[in-house]
């Protein structure tokens, strides 16, 4: 597998009061997960967007994407949607760019939520999904594509699967856990594959298939 394929990864924003700083941040395990899959991870800064411009008009971020020749995206976890406008705008622009250019996208946790909201979905609060594990429910067609138990670190879920996506898996309490786009090379999971003690190979294989589907 070529190591020239570049994966742009969005980052959460942390406020560090002791230094009066806002910092882009990414779990080191996410970098390891992407490298272990055979790709080059490229963290995407949240400072390249102009909050006074529309989602479609972001020349700095658009130019950055062209210069680095990003081949696929991961929308990572962290930050509730609506709490960090810079990040929300960054990811909305990235999804519009990926849609126009048929760029593969994997959404993880908040990333799945963002993809769902972008597609017209609505978020609702959920209990019993923070710092725990639960079983996945899926039809027989998808049974061999996933493991049965996944981690969970979220307090919001999509109320329903958006019309442009189809359900891949639900949690044992019936909430949406994974979905795939009907037309674009986009897939999304509510669990964190990078937080597993040992990386689950079939998650990485699914990601590889997604990336190469878009090439």
DSSP letters spanning 143-209: GGGS-SEEEEE-SEEESS--TTEEEEEEETTS-EEEEEESSSSEEEESS-GGGSSS--HHHHHHHHH
91, 177, 187, 194: which one is catalytic?
Answer: 194
Residue 2: per-residue pLDDT: 47
In a domain, 126, yes or no: yes
Residue 1: per-residue pLDDT: 43
In a domain, 103, yes or no: yes
Low-confidence ranges of the chain (pLDDT < 50): 1-2
Instruction: Please list the residues that pair with 152 across neighbouring strands.
Output: 132
Helix (H) or strand (E) holding 108: strand 105-108
User: In the annotation, is 161 catalytic?
Assistant: no
Tally of domains within the chain: 1
Q: What is the pLDDT of residues 17-29, one digit of tens each?
A: 999 999 999 999 9
109, 129, 134, 177: which one is catalytic?
Answer: 109
In a domain, 135, yes or no: yes
Phi, psi of 11 (to 5 degrees): -130, 150
- In which domain, by residue range, is 76 found? 6-213
In a domain, 26, yes or no: yes
CA atoms within 13 A on the CB side of 206: 22
Q: Which long-range contacts (CB under 8 A, 24 or more apart) does 57-62 make?
A: 58/89, 58/93, 61/90, 61/93, 61/94, 62/93, 62/97
In a domain, 1, yes or no: no
User: Which CATH number goes with the domain that contains 205?
Assistant: 3.40.50.880
In a domain, 203, yes or no: yes
């Amino acid at each position: 597998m070529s190591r020239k394929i570049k994966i742009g990864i969005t980052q959460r924003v942390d406020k560090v009061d002791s230094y009066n700083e806002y910092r882009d941040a990414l779990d080191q395990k996410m970098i390891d997960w992407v490298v272990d899959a055979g790709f080059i991870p490229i963290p995407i800064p949240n400072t390249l967007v102009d909050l006074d411009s529309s989602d479609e008009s972001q020349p700095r971020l658009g130019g950055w994407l062209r210069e680095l020749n990003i081949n696929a995206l991961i929308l990572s976890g962290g930050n509730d949607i609506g709490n960090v406008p810079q990040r929300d705008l960054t990811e909305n622009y990235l999804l519009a760019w990926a849609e126009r250019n048929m760029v593969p996208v994997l959404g993880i946790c908040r990333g799945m939520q963002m993809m769902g909201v972008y597609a017209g979905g609505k978020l609702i609060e959920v209990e019993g999904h923070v710092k725990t594990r639960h079983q996945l429910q899926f039809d027989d067609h998808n049974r061999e594509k996933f493991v049965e138990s996944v981690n969970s670190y979220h307090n919001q879920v999509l109320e329903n699967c958006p019309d442009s996506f189809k359900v891949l898996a639900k949690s044992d309490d019936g909430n949406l856990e994974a979905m795939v786009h009907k037309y674009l090379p986009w897939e999304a999971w509510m669990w964190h594959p990078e937080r597993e003690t040992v990386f689950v190979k079939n998650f990485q294989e699914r990601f590889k298939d997604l990336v190469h589907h878009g090439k």
